[in-house]
A and B are shown apart, each in its own frame.
Chain A
Amino acid sequence: MSAWETIIGLEVHCELKTATKLFCGCPNMFGDEPNTNCCPVCLGLPGSLPVLNKGAVELAIRIGLALNCTVAPSTFHRKNYFYPDMPKDYQISQYDQPLNAGGWIDLPEGSRVGITRAHMEEDTGKSTHLGGTGRIHGADSSLIDYNRSGVPLVEIVSEPDMRSGVQARAYVAELRAILVAVGATDGRMEEGSMRVDANVSVRKPGDPFGTRCEIKNLNSLRSLQRAIEYEAARQIDLIEAGERVVQETRHFDEQTGRTGTMRSKEEATDYRYFPEPDLVPLNPSRAWIDEIRSNLAPLPKARREHLLAAVGEVTPALVDLVATVVDRDLDTLVSAAINAGAPAQLAIARAANELDADGVLPSPASFAGTCQLEASGRLSATQAKQVLAALLDEPHGDPAAIADRLGFVAMDDGALDTVLDAAIADHPSEWQRYCDGDDKLAQFFVGKVMAATKGKANGKAVIAAIAARRP
């Protein structure tokens, strides 16, 4: 029997980082006191009228351009439903004429995922369900905070191009990096700035698509991957047991790692979309779109390629380190350090592993200087890391002066010989086994020398000295 293929399409809701809501001047602010950022428009009071936020449109266009979409004339629709999290009983969204359509993202591993559309809409209020389990089923009443009602969103809908939970995770990670890079969102999944719904089906390769289920509100990369993997396995088990997959909306339980039915197709909503009569068409001019395009920040893919171009031999480990550096916004510092003379590979590795993008960073010159001292053997790796830590207190400090102050005197060969002699004399049987061919014991003696020198010895020099002593 041939293997099953998992088909995944994702819908990602991204909250835009504007000062105000999409259709009124209330603050767009996460975490404020409930119902303090509300006005007649976002409370749906009679007679109020929405006016579109220019800043939100600009961020939405930035997203469209970054995702290689065509930015087109668009209109707004009302999506009608009766849940109390939208006080108007409808959500203003875009339907058959979205602002952005037909783009793609290239993932770091080389695959390309198509973007169907990226349209604008407003977020809903936040419901807290009382009684029962906290989930909706079993709740006897709900409390609503409308601070989030009307916050601008862009919903990014992918083509069903992904084939594994790992790939879906990579897609959301790259999408998040792009959205953050263009300044559209802070990308905080745990605060709901990005929320993911996954459409999952299975088929034998070459067959038509199977019946799909939609898993709602996945709020972390880990949950996304787990939910997709669980759901695909569930569907395969059903089909192999002679049953069939029922089209439905499911939710993912973080505790159990399983998906469960939320609502079936029988109660699927009929949103009765119709054009929003209170808003006129949105038709961004070519000049405005070009201006936004010319001000677009460099995208993560270009930034990774720029950094990789500075190193000679590209290894998979280095690709990962570069991805980390760009992901943490450290690439500007690393590039500046390389320009100031730091060896590229070492600067990338030290930035990825030793620097905290959210904290104080060393100046490019001080960072470059530390890398150079390490590359020349003046500092051991351990010492270089300590100098980097010390630079947090004086970002423009002179690495050589800091090293002196910390007592990091480069060991001369004679001193190293003395320490190594002592280590061998103290452990004659281990030395004999090393000489007899037990290579693992080289590390044992490196450890002894490092302990005796409190990490001041240069690791590479120690290894070379040990190897040289072997008969």
Chain B
Amino acid sequence: MTNPNPLTEADVIKVASLARLELRPDEVATFTEQLGSVLGHAQDIAALNLEGLSPMAHPFDLENVLREDVVTPSLDRDAVLAAAPDAAEHRFRVGRILGEAP
């Protein structure tokens, strides 16, 4: 790797907390190194001379992939809820939520 690790352990702890993951100290060290090497690769690209190239929104050279506004069958509710860890009153049951959705 050509660059020093662009990621700190504090970054990893913050990202883990946003994703609701609880990491042990040795895991924080492992992921700091692994994620750092991914970001390091991105830095390699940033080091290239990209003048005159426009940013790429998607690797495929496609746009406006659209479907008509026509109803297609939904899944059977019993089958859907049978796959859920918990259900009640024909709805998914989940644990207590802290705060509210955006």
Q: Are B96 and A84 in contact (CB under 8 A)?
A: no
Q: Are B101 and A142 in contact (CB under 8 A)?
A: no
* Choice from B60, B64, B71, B94 contacting A84 with Cβ under 8 Å: B94
Q: Are A141 and B95 in contact (CB under 8 A)?
A: yes
Check B28 for interface membership: any CB of A closer than 8 A.
Answer: no
Q: How far is the CA of A342 from the CA of B47 in the complex (A)?
A: 76
Binary interface encoding of chain A residues 75-113 relative to chain B, with 1 for a CB under 8 A from any of its CBs, else 0:
100011111111000010000000000000000000000
Q: Are B94 and A19 in contact (CB under 8 A)?
A: no
Closest Cβ of chain B: how far from A224's Cβ, in Å?
19
Given contacts A143-B89, A270-B18, contact A39 B97 (CB under 8 A): no
Q: Are A143 and B92 in contact (CB under 8 A)?
A: yes
* Choice from B14, B58, B81, B97 contacting A136 with Cβ under 8 Å: B97
Q: Which residues of A contact B93 (CB under 8 A)?
A: 141-144
Check A389 for interface membership: any CB of B closer than 8 A.
Answer: no
Q: Are B65 and A51 in contact (CB under 8 A)?
A: yes
Given contacts A84-B92, A263-B100, contact A57 B80 (CB under 8 A): no
Q: Are B96 and A141 in contact (CB under 8 A)?
A: yes
Q: Are B100 and A18 in contact (CB under 8 A)?
A: no
Q: How far is the CA of A80 from the CA of B102 in the complex (A)?
A: 11
Q: How far is the CA of A272 from the CA of B17 in the complex (A)?
A: 12
Q: Range of interface residues on chain A?
A: 35 or more
Q: Are B60 and A136 in contact (CB under 8 A)?
A: no
* Choice from B18, B60, B75, B101 contacting A280 with Cβ under 8 Å: B60
Q: Are A19 and B70 in contact (CB under 8 A)?
A: yes
Q: Are B19 and A82 in contact (CB under 8 A)?
A: yes
Q: Are A282 and B63 in contact (CB under 8 A)?
A: yes
Check A53 for interface membership: any CB of B closer than 8 A.
Answer: yes
Q: Which of A27, A82, A277 lies at the interface centre, i.e. has the most chain B CB atoms within 10 A of its CB?
A: A82
Q: Are A216 and B100 in contact (CB under 8 A)?
A: yes
* Choice from B63, B68, B91, B97 contacting A34 with Cβ under 8 Å: B91
Q: Are B99 and A25 in contact (CB under 8 A)?
A: no
Check A26 for interface membership: any CB of B closer than 8 A.
Answer: yes
Pick the interface stretch among A124-132, A166-174, A377-385: A124-132
Check A284 for interface membership: any CB of B closer than 8 A.
Answer: yes
Check A244 for interface membership: any CB of B closer than 8 A.
Answer: no
Q: How far is the CA of A468 from the CA of B81 in the complex (A)?
A: 82
Q: Which residues of B contact A85 (CB under 8 A)?
A: 101
Given contacts A37-B74, A143-B93, A263-B100, contact A282 B69 (CB under 8 A): no
* Choice from B69, B88, B96, B100 contacting A55 with Cβ under 8 Å: B69
Q: Which residues of A contact B62 (CB under 8 A)?
A: 280
Nearest residue, chain B, Cβ from A138:
B96
Q: Are A39 and B101 in contact (CB under 8 A)?
A: no
Nearest residue, chain B, Cβ from A267:
B99
Check A38 for interface membership: any CB of B closer than 8 A.
Answer: yes
Q: Are A35 and B63 in contact (CB under 8 A)?
A: no
Chain B residues 14-68 with CB under 8 Å of chain A are: 14-15, 18-20, 57-58, 60, 62-68
Closest Cβ of chain A: how far from B38's Cβ, in Å?
13
